[in-house]
Amino acid sequence: MTATMLGPLRSPVHRFVLGETEITSILDGSTSMGISPPFLLDESDDEIATIARAANLPTDKLENNFVPVLVNTGDTLVLIDTGCGHYRRESGAGFLRARLADAGYAPENVDVVVLTHVHPDHIGGIWEDGDLAFPNAQLMIGRREFDAWEAGDEIPPQRAENREMFLKIVAPLKEKFRFLEDREEIAPGVTVEAAFGHSAGHLMVRVESAGKQALIWSDVANHYVFSVGHPESKVSFDDDKEMAIATRNRVLAEVADSGVLVVGHHMPFPAVGYVEREGASYRWVPATYQLGV
121 lies in the site for Zn ion, by CB under 5 A: yes
CB of 65 to Zn ion, least distance (A): 10
81 lies in the site for Zn ion, by CB under 5 A: no
Cβ proximity to Zn ion: between 207 and 267 the closer is: 267
Residue 46, judged by CB atoms within 10 A of its CB (0-12, 13-18, 19+), counts as exposed
What does DSSP say about strands 212-218 and 261-264: parallel, antiparallel, or unpaired?
parallel
Instruction: Give the whole-angstrom CA distance, residue 152 versus residue 28.
Output: 28
Window contacting Zn ion (CB under 5 A); options: 118-126, 128-136, 172-180, 184-192: 118-126
**Would you say 96 and 88 are in contact if contact means Cβ atoms under 8 Å apart?**
no
What end-to-end distance do the CA atoms of the chain give, in Å?
42
**Would you say 169 and 127 are in contact if contact means Cβ atoms under 8 Å apart?**
yes
Cβ proximity to Zn ion: between 22 and 66 the closer is: 66
CB of 178 to Zn ion, least distance (A): 22
74 — alpha (psi -120 to 50), left (phi > 0) or beta?
Answer: left
Window contacting Zn ion (CB under 5 A); options: 2-10, 71-79, 116-124, 147-155: 116-124
Window contacting Zn ion (CB under 5 A); options: 91-99, 117-125, 171-179, 256-264: 117-125
Instruction: Give the whole-angstrom CA distance, residue 201 versus residue 13.
Output: 28
CB of 59 to Zn ion, least distance (A): 23
Cβ proximity to Zn ion: between 36 and 82 the closer is: 82
Window contacting Zn ion (CB under 5 A); options: 23-31, 45-53, 84-92, 216-224: 216-224
Cβ proximity to Zn ion: between 121 and 145 the closer is: 121
| Helix (H) and strand (E) counts in the chain | 6, 18
Instruction: Give the whole-angstrom CA distance, residue 289 versus residue 293.
Output: 6
Window contacting Zn ion (CB under 5 A); options: 91-99, 213-221, 268-276, 277-285: 213-221
Cβ proximity to Zn ion: between 22 and 97 the closer is: 97
238 lies in the site for Zn ion, by CB under 5 A: no
Residue 212, judged by CB atoms within 10 A of its CB (0-12, 13-18, 19+), counts as middle
Q: 219, 226, 227, 261: which one contacts Zn ion (CB under 5 A)?
A: 219
CB of 44 to Zn ion, least distance (A): 26
Q: Is 166 helix (H, G, I), strand (E, B) or coil?
A: helix
Q: How many residues bind Zn ion (CB under 5 A)?
A: 2
Residues that bind Zn ion (CB under 5 A): 121, 219
